[in-house]
Structure 1
Amino acid sequence: MRLAFMGTPDFAVPALRALYDAGHEIVAVYSQPPRRAGRGKKLSPSPVQQLAENLELLVRTPVSLKDEDEQTAFAALDLDAAIVAAYGLILPQAILDAPQMGCLNIHGSLLPRWRGAAPVQRAILAGDTETGITIMQMEAGLDTGPMLLKATTSIDHKTAGELTEELAGTGADLMIQYLTAPAKHPPEPQDDALATYAKKVDKQEARLDFNGSAEQVERQIRAYNPNPGAFFEYQDNRYRILKVVVSDTQGPSSTILDDRLLIGCETGSIQPELIQKAGKPAMALKSFLNGTKIPAGTILQ
């Protein structure tokens, strides 16, 4: 098929690679403009742009698709379909209507549950036991379009990073499956009554709240790993907890209960296994405690 691909982060990379390897004609790749990153604040192209350039594909990085000239240029591509995966820009109706098959989105949840920007993190935080990928026909509403194909996976104790990587591969495979035989997968309307909204993650959400159950805290740690990283503060230093074990030991919430950094929650407690001081590499708890002492009885912020 004659396609455009629209995506930006690592999540979208496997789909672009799969479409290329499957022999589809990718006439343009759209990605968000390069952003300044790193200590030198140099402009850095997105992961999708980097792959597209390595594959010698045409790359376009408009700031917006609302401009009439951009819409005209997109329509001139004469596409069978546009494949979208975490692109990050709103697609105006003129863009949605231009390809013969419209715009097809790879969404990281089992729609209509978790429409929106952060479906993986919200599924973990909510304690969902499973999630998945939905291939959907895009329309003007936020992730409201008809569903074309789904695949389910168990969340288990995966971090957001691990789950996102898994779903990225699943989404790539599912899109190839759909494009191979679209007629086998008729559109299924979403039930709006079952919809939930996955709002974008705010960095301050990642401050650990020990006033819930230990299970809730553990989910918070997994949901914000690797970004933005669940944290607490002690003596003006920030500490990210990357992995924990849940314990039945009970004690005052937000309080260090022993010399092994056992932290009390409203019910139960958590024992960090992997922790990272700001500006330092992540460490196993034993190595961390060799250099940092947070005494029992300390109340964390």
Structure 2
Amino acid sequence: MRLAFMGSPAFSVPALRALVAAGHEVACVYAQPPRPAGRGQRETPCPVHQAAVEMGLPVRTPARVRREAAEHEAFAALLLDAAVVVAYGLILPRPMLEAPRMGCLNIHASLLPRWRGAAPIQAAVLAGDAETGITIMRMDEGLDTGPMLLREATPVGPRETAAGVHDRLSEMGARLVLRALAERPPETPQPAEGATYAPKLGKEDGRLDWAEPAAALDRRVRAMTPWPGAFTALGGEVLRVLSAEPAEGLAGRAPGTVLDEGLLVACGGGTALRLTRVQKAGRAAMEAGAFLRGHAVPAGTVLG
């Protein structure tokens, strides 16, 4: 088939590679424009852009498409059978949604209608969902509301991070979109009940509120790995919490109080969370024991 591919982050790259390997003609790749990155803040292409260049595919990086008539015309001129959209980052207007013969197929990282929106993987881990998955849908003008073609579930392990789920779903999405294009399964409207939303994350979503129970904070640490990253304050500095696990608490201690010499922290409801891997700004990540050998954090210290 003659396709356009629209995606930006690393999550999208396996699908692009799978489409090319399967023999589909990728007429154009659309990706977010290069942005400053790294210490030198050099303009850097996103992962999909880089992969497309490696494969010799033409790339377009418009900053906007919603009201750009020239972009609509250029897209229609590609004479596509379909477009495959995976975490592109721009809202497609009706003229672009309707231009391909088969429409625009989206690889969404949840079991729709649960976790529509920008951060479905993190939302599933944060909520403690027992499973998540991939939905292939035909896009409409709503927010992840289009009819479904395929769905496949995968369990979320009790100690999994968003990073681990991300990698598994990325490969699953690549496999399922090939099936959708080959089999052209019938469309199924999304159920009217059970819709939930996963808004775009910001850095503050990683802040640990010690008044919450340890189980909820453990999920937040795992959900925010690797980005935006869970954090707390230690002595006026930011302390990133890279991994942690619930532990036996000590009733009556104020949330955020360090309870022992091993970074066991009091949480809400008489629970506690042991920090097992941490990182201070500008320093290397360390296991808790190594960190404590160079940074004294005595019992009674209050994190916030």
TM over 0.5: yes
How far does the alpha carbon of each residue in 1:239-284 deviate from its partner, in whole angstroms, 9 at most, with x for none?
1111112112224221100011100111321111111111112111
> Which residue is equivalent to 2:219?
219
1:291 maps to amino acid: G
Which residue number in structure 2 is paired with residue 86 of structure 1?
Answer: 87
The secondary structure found in structure 1 opposite 2:114 is coil
Which structure 2 residues correspond to residues 242-253 of structure 1 after superposition, within 5 A?
A: 242-251=242-251, 252=253, 253=255
Q: 1:230 touches 1:241 (CA, 8 Å); kept in 2? A: yes
Alignment match, 1:258: 260
Match of 1:160 in 2: 162
Q: 1:135, 1:149 within 8 Å by CA — same for their partners in 2?
A: yes
Q: 1:273 aligns with which of 273, 276, 281?
A: 276
Question: AA paired with 2:228?
Answer: P
Aligned residue for 1:170, secondary structure, equals helix
**Cα distance in structure 1, aligned partners of 2:217 and 2:142:** 33
Residue pairs, 1:144-293, within 5 angstroms? 144-156=145-157, 157-182=159-184, 185-251=185-251, 252=253, 253-267=255-269, 268-293=271-296
**Matched residue of 2:268: which SS?**
coil
Distance in 1 of aligned mates of 2:21 and 2:160: 29
Where in structure 2 are the equivalents of 1:31-110 lying within 5 Å? 31-65=31-65, 66-110=67-111
Q: What residue ranges of structure 2 are gaps of 5+ in the alignment?
A: none
CA apart distance, 1:92: 0.4
Unaligned runs of 5+ in 1: none
TM-score, structure 1 as length reference? 0.98
Look up the SS of the partner of 1:193 in the other structure: coil
- Aligned CA RMSD, in angstroms, stands at 0.9
CA separation in 2, counterparts of 1:278 and 1:179? 46
1:298 to 291, 297, 301: 301
Give distance in 2, aligned partners of 1:90 and 1:249: 46
| 1:205 positional shift | 1.7
The number of aligned residues is 299
Q: Report the CA distance between 1:202 and its aligned residue.
A: 1.9
SS in 2 for 1:94: helix
- After superposition, give the CA deviation of every residue in 1:155-183 in whole Å (9 maximum; x if it has no partner): 1121111111111010001111111111x
Structure 2 residue identity aligned to 1:48: V
User: Is contact 1:250–1:265 with CA below 8 Å preserved after alignment?
Assistant: no
SS in 2 for 1:28: strand
TM-fit CA distance, 1:192: 2.7
SS in 2 for 1:88: coil
Q: CA deviation at 1:50?
A: 0.1
TM-score (structure 2 length as normaliser): 0.97
The percentage of aligned residue pairs carrying the same residue is 51
Instruction: Give the match's secondary structure for 1:89.
Output: coil
Offset, 1:2: 0.4
4+ runs of 1 displaced by more than 4 Å?
A: none
Matches of 2:148 and 2:250 in 1, distance apart?
A: 46
